[in-house]
């Protein structure tokens, strides 16, 4: 299977069936996305009118295409999908992406059409992604089949397998514009008439470009196979899953979305629980954890130190840590002595670190920078959270000290959160994240991230 999937993720030649010269149409957006990413393979277009589109020659039919093209992206209506798959199979096309909706997610007529499509796939000899998919993205190969306007996609180490097109569409645009991290691969499964989550998980488990894997699924096609594949992959890489359709209302929505009729919930939950995959319960976790892992390492454990400009934060966030199974341990004596050096004598330095008094004595960068270095060097600490106090009146420090200290301790992640003026918080986030420091706008979020990542580390150890 891995050899076949290379034609999806590293094609040397592609054809767009249903190519269009009309801006905004799927058959035009796909071409522009391929161009914007800088794909350097051969591109063939098919439209009965012929001519040229976006500088590419247009063939009038599938039959006119050269033999053995690696991949086809089909943007034609659903009713034409079966015959198009058969025709592409005859031309030796190895991988097909079917964008159209209108199958089992709609009605009985669509369900009958999907059955016809499944039979066409069987005789074609090709592998098929979809239908009802926004497509997929492969940044290392400078390629995408998505028909959602994307532009240039930043390269990273995170990959997505999702039963939604969002991560080749609107959610990917959110990542690019608001979260400042890159991806390796992303794939919308659609209705899964052929390729499913197990095929892709197996491929990404072996993929050197992928360091962590995030799944959003509304159904699991083969729970027994998923258990087997996920166990193997999650022992080598962090793997996370958000399962949609857990409630009755959510399950009903899943049918309308992708035509998914989930297997017995107890069977699916049992397979997930035994698989070593780490469960998520918020959609936003698909961004927040991915950002942490793309920029920093997986923490070795759940022991955190945090630097706080407020006594209330030290109290409330310690309570939150306890509720999240995050430990706030006692610091080594040498660490507390170092922290006390720049603190007022009336403040007893400990974990969590009340940094406000030190800032008043020696300034923002020296107080925060030395304290962060001290706690990261402590053998009792696995990760650090820095709560930054940013207002015009208290001054805005240069942020490079955070980057410099973090780089000294690559095995101990540093997360930053904020309290103060929103515009300064946003500016700090925009500066720090491209330099490898994940930032979170709500003070609880980095602790939630650390809690989940610590659980992932335990799963990878088989605990």
- Give pLDDT tens digits for 357-395: 999 999 999 999 999 999 999 999 999 999 999 999 988
pLDDT attached to residue 268: 77
d(CA 293, CA 213): 10
Q: Who contacts 279 (Cβ-Cβ below 8 Å, separation ≥6)?
A: 240, 241, 242, 243, 272
Average confidence (pLDDT) over 208-218: 97
CA 387 and chain centroid, separation? 25
pLDDT interval class at 225 (50, 70, 90) = very high
Contact 390, 396 (CB under 8 A): yes
Sheet containing 143-144: give its strands across.
143-144, 136-138, 183-188, 155-162, 212-217, 239-243, 278-280
Q: Average pLDDT, stretch 8-31?
A: 98
**pLDDT at residue 260 is higher than 70:** no
The residue length of the chain stands at 463
Do 202 and 231 contact (CB within 8 A), yes or no?
no
pLDDT > 70? residue 396:
yes
pLDDT at 81: 97
- Residue 72's beta-bridge partner residues? 15, 96
What local confidence, expressed as pLDDT, does residue 177 receive? 95
Least confident of 49-63, 98-112, 125-139, 250-264: 250-264
Query: What is the chain's mean pLDDT, rounded?
Result: 94
Q: What local confidence, expressed as pLDDT, does residue 261 receive?
A: 45
* φ and ψ of 228, to 5 deg: -65, -45
Model confidence at 104: pLDDT above 90? no
Share of the chain above pLDDT 70, in %: 95
- What percent of the chain clears pLDDT 90, i.e. is strictly above it? 91
Segment 31-81, tens digit of pLDDT: 999 999 999 999 999 999 999 999 999 999 999 999 999 999 999 999 999
- For each of the domains in the chain, give its residue range(s) and CATH number, in order of start: 2-293 (3.40.50.261), 297-460 (3.40.50.261)
Kind of pairing, strands 42-46 and 13-17? parallel
Report the distance separating Cα 71 and Cα 89, nearest Å: 11
Structure confidence by residue, pLDDT tens digits, 312-341 = 999 999 999 999 999 999 999 999 999 999
Close Cβ partners of 416 (under 8 Å, ≥ 6 residues apart):
385, 386, 387, 388, 402, 428, 429, 432, 437, 438, 439, 440, 446
In this prediction, residues 295-318 reach a mean pLDDT of: 96
The reported pLDDT for the residue numbered 106 is 86
Indicate if the pLDDT at residue 257 is higher than 50: no
- Strand 183-188 with 155-162, pairing: parallel
């Amino acid at each position: 299977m891995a050899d076949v999937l290379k034609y999806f993720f590293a094609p040397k030649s592609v054809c767009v069936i249903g190519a269009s010269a009309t801006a905004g149409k799927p058959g035009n957006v796909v071409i522009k996305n391929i161009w914007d990413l800088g794909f350097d393979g051969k591109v063939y277009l098919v439209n009965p009118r012929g001519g040229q589109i976006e500088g590419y020659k247009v063939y009038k039919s599938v039959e006119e295409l050269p033999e053995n093209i690696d991949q086809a992206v089909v943007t034609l209506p659903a009713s034409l999908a079966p015959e198009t798959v058969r025709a592409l199979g005859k031309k030796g096309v190895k991988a097909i992406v079917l964008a159209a909706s209108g199958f089992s997610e709609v009605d009985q007529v669509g369900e009958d059409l999907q059955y016809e499509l499944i039979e066409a796939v069987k005789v074609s000899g090709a592998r098929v992604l979809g239908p009802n998919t926004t497509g997929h993205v492969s940044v290392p190969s400078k390629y995408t089949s998505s028909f959602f306007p994307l532009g240039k996609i930043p390269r990273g180490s995170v990959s997505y397998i999702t039963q939604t097109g969002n991560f080749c569409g609107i959610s990917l645009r959110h990542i690019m514009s608001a979260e400042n991290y890159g991806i390796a691969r992303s794939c919308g499964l659609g209705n899964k008439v052929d390729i499913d989550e197990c095929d892709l998980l197996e491929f990404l488990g072996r993929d050197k470009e992928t360091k962590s894997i995030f799944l959003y699924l509304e159904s699991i096609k083969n729970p027994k196979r998923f258990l087997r594949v996920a166990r193997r992959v999650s022992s080598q890489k962090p793997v996370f899953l958000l399962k949609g359709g857990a409630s009755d209302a959510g399950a009903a929505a899943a049918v309308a979305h992708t035509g998914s009729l989930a297997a017995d919930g107890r069977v699916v939950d049992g397979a997930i629980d035994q698989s070593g995959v780490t469960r998520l319960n918020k959609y936003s976790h698909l961004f927040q954890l991915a950002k942490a892992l793309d920029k920093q390492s997986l923490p070795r454990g759940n022991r955190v130190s945090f630097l706080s400009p407020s006594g209330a934060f030290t109290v409330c966030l310690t309570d939150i840590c306890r509720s999240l199974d995050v430990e706030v341990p006692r610091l080594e004596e040498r660490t507390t002595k170092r922290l006390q050096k720049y603190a007022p004598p009336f403040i007893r330095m400990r974990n969590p670190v009340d940094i406000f008094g030190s800032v008043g004595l020696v300034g923002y960068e020296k107080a925060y920078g030395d304290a962060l270095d001290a706690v990261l060097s402590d053998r009792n600490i696995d990760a650090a959270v820095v709560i930054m106090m940013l207002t015009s009146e208290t001054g805005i420090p240069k942020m490079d000290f955070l980057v410099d200290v973090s780089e000294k301790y690559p095995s101990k992640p540093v997360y930053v959160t904020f309290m103060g003026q929103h515009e300064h918080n946003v500016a700090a986030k925009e500066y720090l994240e491209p330099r490898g420091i994940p930032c979170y706008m709500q003070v609880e979020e980095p602790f939630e991230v650390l809690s989940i990542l610590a659980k992932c580390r335990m799963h990878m150890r088989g605990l």
